[in-house]
Amino acid sequence: MKSPPGGARVTVEPARTGRPRVTSRAELERIGFELFALQGFDDTTVDDIAAAAGIGRRTFFRYFSSKNDLVWGDFEEHLLRLRELLAATSTDAPLVDALREAVVEFNSFDPVEVPWHRQRMELILRVPTLQADSTLRYASWRAVVTEFVAARTGLPPTDMVPRLAGYALLAAAMAAYEHWLSEPGTELSCLLGRTIEQVGAGLGTVRAAPPPPGDAAS
């Protein structure tokens, strides 16, 4: 990947000599993505990013555990936001509607952030080293959905239905993102709504778990 979305050339300012530049996670992400666009992900090193930011390797690793970690951003914060969005859905809403509402909102961004998010997802879905790194992160994402569905249906998280919901929602999101990346003129929120509606057809029939036999009326 040699250029950012839209074909605009990205220029990374060289770090000033002398006192290190004050930085942050967001600033390091920005610099990292600019270098990935210019040089490619695999050809960009942690040293490159640190030098462009005017910091040392040790400072870089205070913010991110690896170059891969930088691409994912603050993943734990993202998961917390997804949990909050799911928890905020109406308990009266059908399960699929609640899932769609939360996941679409979770993947909504200000227009100025869309090119960066597109580049992030291009890297995550297209770079082999990042695809290998995604397994545990996707498992954490699925777990959030699984726990929500289990709570809404009264089923244990280990039941097949909540687990299926986690896998189905992830598949719907990935299909929407793949299409969005391939067709730049499409609207991500619309694609997510459509894919979740399709995979959610079966989930819409899920009902709360029946009471244990001992609790049944005699």
Instruction: Give the tens place of pLDDT for each residue, 8-65.
Output: 334 455 444 444 565 789 999 999 999 999 999 999 999 999 999 999 999 999 999 9
Domain 74-203, CATH among 3.40.50.2300, 3.40.1390.30, 1.10.357.10, 3.20.20.10: 1.10.357.10
Assess if CATH 1.10.10.60 describes domain 5-70.
yes
Residues in the chain: 218
Provide CATH 1.10.357.10 ranges for the chain: 74-203
Residue-level pLDDT at 19: 40
Task: Quick: pLDDT tens for 109-165.
Answer: 999 999 999 999 999 999 998 988 899 899 999 999 999 999 999 999 999 999 999
DSSP count for the chain of H helices, then E strands? 10, 0
Q: How confident is the model at residue 200 (pLDDT cuts 50, 70, 90)?
A: confident
CATH 1.10.10.60 in the chain, residue ranges: 5-70
For residues 34 and 1, give the distance between their C-alpha atoms in angstroms, rounded to a whole number: 11
Higher pLDDT among residues 8 and 97, named by residue: 97
Report how far residue 100's alpha carbon sits from residue 214's, in angstroms, rounded to the nearest whole number. 35
Alpha-carbon gap, residue 98 to 90, rounded angstroms? 7
Higher pLDDT, 123 or 211: 123
Q: Sign of the CA dihedral 3, 8, 9, 14?
A: negative
